[in-house]
Amino acid sequence: MESPSSSRGVGPSIVGQWLSDRSLRLAAGLAVAVAIPVAVLFYFQFRSISALSQSSAVVLRQLSQATADDLTQGLQDALKAPYLSVLLRVAQSQTEPLDLTLIAPTLEQGLTNEPFVSRFYVWSDETKEHRGEVLAYDRENHGFTTDVPEGAEMVRRFYELAPQKHAITVFETTIGGHHVLFQGQLRFRFPARDKLTSFVALRVDASRLTGEFLSSFINARLKTVEGPTGFPPLGVAVLDHNGRQLFPAGGAPVSGYVDERAFPVVFFEPELLSLAAPEGREPEVWRLRTGYGDHTIPEIVAARERPQFALMTMLAGIMALGVFFMARAAAREVRVAEMKSNFVSSVSHDLKTPLALIQLFAETLELGRVKNAERMHEYYRIINSEARKLTRLINNLLDFSKIEAGLRRYKREPVNLTDLTARVLESLESQFRHNQFTVTSRLAPDVPVLIDQEAAVQALENLLSNAMKYSPEHRTIHVEVDRVAGFGVVRVIDRGVGIPLRLQRKIFRKFYRVQTDAGSGPQGTGLGLSIVDHVMRAHGGFVRVDSEPGRGATFSLHFPLYTMSAGDTHGDETDSGDRGRTADVARSA
């Protein structure tokens, strides 16, 4: 154990200590070497996520635009298909006079291809058979019928529109409570166009158009639309001129959309509106909307970005922790290497010092230079004291090597802790006197514990040795033995330099020696308290320290009390004590 001296401002500053610490420099260099490429990697990864999000936004927008354009154009092409494939294909020569044999296949094909058309009509004033009669061709009969209730209405309306001399004529009416649209291709006497001679017409029921046709057409087209994986599907809605939702029928109203297309509901080329009768008629306009539910594209992309950014942030945090722990481990290894180096230096010093004293006084006695019996006795005492110190150091080294190899075993037996403590104090009396220490004690009469005597003596001697080493000014030591909460407790109390609270856990680590403010202090191997902690854990006890800088320290050894029972046997052997370290160190501090 090392502890800071009471002097302040003599040694280097904290920043200076950090800069001169090889382990910290290595950790910082390793962290920078790993962190910089990792940071660059994550920077470009975040950039790629942002670029991918921008690309996704472009793809979603293009998909919406392309689908809206395709559906709008497809609906317009489907609506004008009967005009192009039926009304225009039935030539005037087939209606003047009527050639029903030629006309019928065209009308049949039109009903097959155009599901929203419920009937086709032909009428001619330039024929002999069926002259002036409206003939209907429908899905039920697959042929012409002459019983056409709406025929008179059609002829009357077309005659009313004929003076405008437009070939395309349109009118709307209600039949049986249903909204119906009629569109006719009128034929006139050439070239004056002053007389209506024949017409071919079609009938569109609004319910059929907005019902099954619109739904089947859009659903069929949407099956061919493939959106990007992982994004909401593209939705389509169609609204009429009053804002009523036609598709999806009965679905929830669409509140948000990305693209909107408006188109007139006419059954011919929209460019021919100005050439259709009645003139100036404004057709119904539908609106087709595409979107991704109630979310905008930026919201969708942001929602997709968030888990990716969260994952990358988590990975960055994990890698940062990995770099931190790797740098910390490397710094610890360097620090342990430095500690081992200091340990070798300290061991060499601690071995040489007592050996030099023993050699000096032994040679003096051997040469007979000391004639005074009292002086000779003093020299013998010094030799004995230094030999004991040397023995304690060697025992610590041997025990540490066994602990590291997991070979240290303890043979426990019932012992009176009071008697053992008294014997240790008596054996160290010459050292106390030589170092001018005053030792007082308060020993309870009977404190039975089950311990390995040799290990307990070693632990107690290490504490007393530390107390002498770190009490350079106040040379008093007090030792107590007592019973506390099921433990036999030995306390070693000194009035030395003390230990800061932040270092009280670290002093039990192997090789750990606290640097003083001045950068120097008592020599030591850094093994004494580590061995003490190991011994106490092996006995099922713990060591505790209570200290403040400048006020000394109190170390307490807590051995479980021994209670004799019928099943007890002496000579219990325990393992090396390498268990429960975390909890015990917490108790130790």
**CATH number for the domain including 169?**
3.30.450.20
Which distant-in-sequence residues (6+ apart) come within 8 Å of 48 by Cβ? none
For residue range 104-132, what is the model confidence (pLDDT) as tens digits? 999 999 999 999 999 999 999 999 999 99
Per the model's pLDDT, the better-predicted residue between 69 and 452 turns out to be 69
Overall number of domains in the chain: 2
Residue where a domain stops, chosen among 168, 187, 205: 205
Grade residue 412 by pLDDT with cuts at 50, 70 and 90. confident
Q: Does residue 458 carry a pLDDT above 90? A: no
For residue range 320-379, what is the model confidence (pLDDT) as tens digits? 787 777 777 777 777 777 666 666 665 665 666 677 778 877 877 777 777 777 777 777
Residue 100 lies in a domain: yes
Q: And the tokens for 239? A: 């609204």
Rounded CA-CA distance 305/295 in Å is: 15
Q: And the tokens for 293? A: 């539910």
Residue where a domain stops, chosen among 205, 225, 249: 205
Residue where a domain stops, chosen among 205, 231, 248: 205
Rounded CA-CA distance 581/509 in Å is: 11
Grade residue 262 by pLDDT with cuts at 50, 70 and 90. very high
Residue 268 lies in a domain: no
Residue 358 lies in a domain: no
CATH number at residue 491: 3.30.565.10
User: Count of CB atoms within 10 A of residue 489's CB?
Assistant: 21
CA 65 to chain centre: 36
What mean pLDDT do residues 422-430 have? 87
> Helix, strand or coil for residue 436?
coil
| pLDDT-wise least confident of 50-54, 308-312, 378-382, 517-521 | 517-521
- Range with top average pLDDT, 45-49, 327-331, 566-570: 45-49
Rounded CA-CA distance 90/198 in Å is: 11
Could you tell me which of 554, 470, 538, 459 has the C-alpha nearest to residue 504? Answer: 554
Q: Does residue 403 carry a pLDDT above 80? A: no
Q: Does residue 382 carry a pLDDT above 50? A: yes
Q: And the tokens for 333? A: 């290894």
Residue 157 lies in a domain: yes
Question: What pLDDT, on a 0 to 100 scale, did the predictor assign at position 574?
Answer: 58
Rounded CA-CA distance 582/410 in Å is: 21
Question: What pLDDT, on a 0 to 100 scale, did the predictor assign at position 3?
Answer: 40
- The CA–CA distances, whole Å, from 213 to 203, 206, 297, 536 equal 15, 10, 30, 90
For residue range 14-42, what is the model confidence (pLDDT) as tens digits? 455 555 566 667 667 767 777 788 778 87
Report the share of the chain in percent with pLDDT over 90. 36
Residue 64 lies in a domain: no
Which distant-in-sequence residues (6+ apart) come within 8 Å of 382 by Cβ? 357, 361, 434
Burial (Cβ within 10 Å: 0-12, 13-18, ≥19) of residue 481: buried
Contacts of 430-434 with C-beta under 8 Å, sequence gap 24+, read 430/381, 430/384, 430/385, 431/385, 431/388, 431/389, 431/468, 432/468, 432/477, 434/381, 434/382, 434/385
Residue 240 lies in a domain: no
CA 244 to chain centre: 46
Question: Do the beta carbons of residue 557 and residue 460 sit within 8 Å?
Answer: yes
Domain extent, residue 518, equals 408-588
Question: What pLDDT, on a 0 to 100 scale, did the predictor assign at position 566?
Answer: 44
Per the model's pLDDT, the better-predicted residue between 289 and 539 turns out to be 289
Rounded CA-CA distance 48/36 in Å is: 18
Residue 283 lies in a domain: no
> Parallel, antiparallel, or unpaired: how do β-strands 542-547 and 572-574 relate?
unpaired
Residue 339 lies in a domain: no
